Amino acid sequence: MKGTGRRVAKTANEAFAEAMRQIDPDVVAAYPITPATEIVQIFSQFVADGLVKTEFVAVESEHSAMSACIGASISGARAMTGTSSQGLALMWEMLYIAAALRLPIIMAVVNRALSAPINIHCDHSDTLGARDSGWIQIYSENVQETYDNVIQAVRIAEHPDVRLPVMVTTDGFILSHCLETIEMLTDEEVKEFIGEPPVRENLLKSLEENKPITIGALDLQDYYFEHKRQEAEAMKNALKVIPEIGKEFGEKFGRSYGFFEEYKLEDATVGIVVMGSTAGTGKDVVDELRKEGKKVGLLKIRVFRPFPFEEISKALSHLQVVGVMDRADGVNSYSGPVFPEICACLYDLEKRPKIVDFIYGLGGRDIRKEDIAGIFDGLLKIAETGKKEFNLKYIGVRE
């Protein structure tokens, strides 16, 4: 069955805010930051207009925003927030606490470059920096995916086998401020899909029996490791839950989601791995090169945490050459943050593809179709000669 399909023009920020209105969380605590400001600005209007029953907490910093969400979530409330770049950076210590306490908080993140120099435009340095914080990370190619991902995030985060916070990302300005026609679900469809938050038995027991509990107490050499092991297991469970929910979403509303999208990859000899809006540009380039008879393809990562290690390995295994497009620099002398993960999942293959990294688009630098075509040509050349003349190339920077 398909959704009732209300087609509306929305920017990703508006789509985030609309999804939040439909989710109607118990608590939203947020602090404004470009380019994510609009999300909570629009949402606060919904609160003022009485369209939601949310308790809106206008806090004094992002550190407090995440702290307030943690407090709310501990008490059993559905809590959401939104941020970008420096705001996410200021939340850092609370990110780890939210995940380790197993709190299903949902955060809309509009990807923006980290300072310095100060910049408000898109790259993925902010969320990729938080890759080991224990948050599930879902990246969006366009406004439609941004919207769909937030709705699914609620179910993923609150699944009893997972109970981890989820950040859904969208590309700053490229998506956050650009109008796109999307299909929104009705309020009822969203309500029905997300359902009521599952009751946390231990919290309920504490209330019923009037027995106070301690959360996040001192946990030294003898127990910390066991709690981290639980968190790791929850992230592993998310690997099972995310595609189930993506499939159910597809059955109900016509748009299915998995860990990643393979675009003309099946019979390709070379392929690129991308995240976010660049995937859209990349697909256009694939189409054009295919017309010239070039066997190129693309893999768009949607779910970066948990990292679908085996699935990505399988999807890329037949390629001769893989090019990873990193919209962040690891500043580590050899690659961006996505590259080593793709290398790792290819390492054990009998016949492993050659692999190179391309760092592009830092601070919102445009990535043009010619740039991506150039990347493909480079990969095809490696496939042809069997020789790799570089491991890392910067794309679009003035040399």
Instruction: Estimate to the nearest angstrom the gap between the alpha carbon of 49 and the chain centroid.
Output: 30
Between 15 and 105, name the residue whose CB sits nearer to another protein.
Answer: 105
State the Cα–Cα distance between residues 106 and 206, nearest whole angstrom.
25
Residue ranges that bind another protein, judged by CB under 8 A? 100-103, 163, 202, 211-219, 222-223, 225-227, 229-231, 233
3-class DSSP assignment, residue 202: helix
Q: Please state the closest distance from residue 239 (CB atom) to another protein, in A.
A: 18
Sequence letter at residue 14: E
State the Cα–Cα distance between residues 304 and 49, nearest whole angstrom.
36
Between 57 and 99, name the residue whose CB sits nearer to another protein.
Answer: 99
Between 198 and 254, name the residue whose CB sits nearer to another protein.
Answer: 198
Between 227 and 255, name the residue whose CB sits nearer to another protein.
Answer: 227
Q: Please state the closest distance from residue 251 (CB atom) to another protein, in A.
A: 30
Between 218 and 331, name the residue whose CB sits nearer to another protein.
Answer: 218
Q: Please state the closest distance from residue 104 (CB atom) to another protein, in A.
A: 11
Residues of 38-53 as b/e, b for ≥16 C-beta within 10 angstroms? Answer: bbbebbbebbeeeebe
Tokens of 339: 């590259």
State the Cα–Cα distance between residues 167 and 186, nearest whole angstrom.
23
State the Cα–Cα distance between residues 268 and 207, nearest whole angstrom.
58
Tokens of 191: 């309500």
Q: Please state the closest distance from residue 377 (CB atom) to another protein, in A.
A: 50
Q: Please state the closest distance from residue 305 (CB atom) to another protein, in A.
A: 18
Q: Please state the closest distance from residue 3 (CB atom) to another protein, in A.
A: 34
State the Cα–Cα distance between residues 365 and 359, nearest whole angstrom.
11
Quote the crossing angle between the two packed helices 143-158 and 12-23, to the nearest 10°. 30
Tokens of 219: 């946990």
Q: Please state the closest distance from residue 240 (CB atom) to another protein, in A.
A: 17
Q: Please state the closest distance from residue 346 (CB atom) to another protein, in A.
A: 30
Between 116 and 218, name the residue whose CB sits nearer to another protein.
Answer: 218
State the Cα–Cα distance between residues 112 and 198, nearest whole angstrom.
33
Between 217 and 331, name the residue whose CB sits nearer to another protein.
Answer: 217
Strand partners, 300: 261, 274
Q: Please, are residues 105 and 81 in contact by the beta-carbon 8 Å criterion?
A: yes
Between 103 and 373, name the residue whose CB sits nearer to another protein.
Answer: 103
Q: Please state the closest distance from residue 228 (CB atom) to another protein, in A.
A: 8
Between 226 and 267, name the residue whose CB sits nearer to another protein.
Answer: 226
Beta sheet of 303-305, edge-to-edge order: 55-58, 27-30, 79-83, 106-111, 166-171, 136-139, 303-305
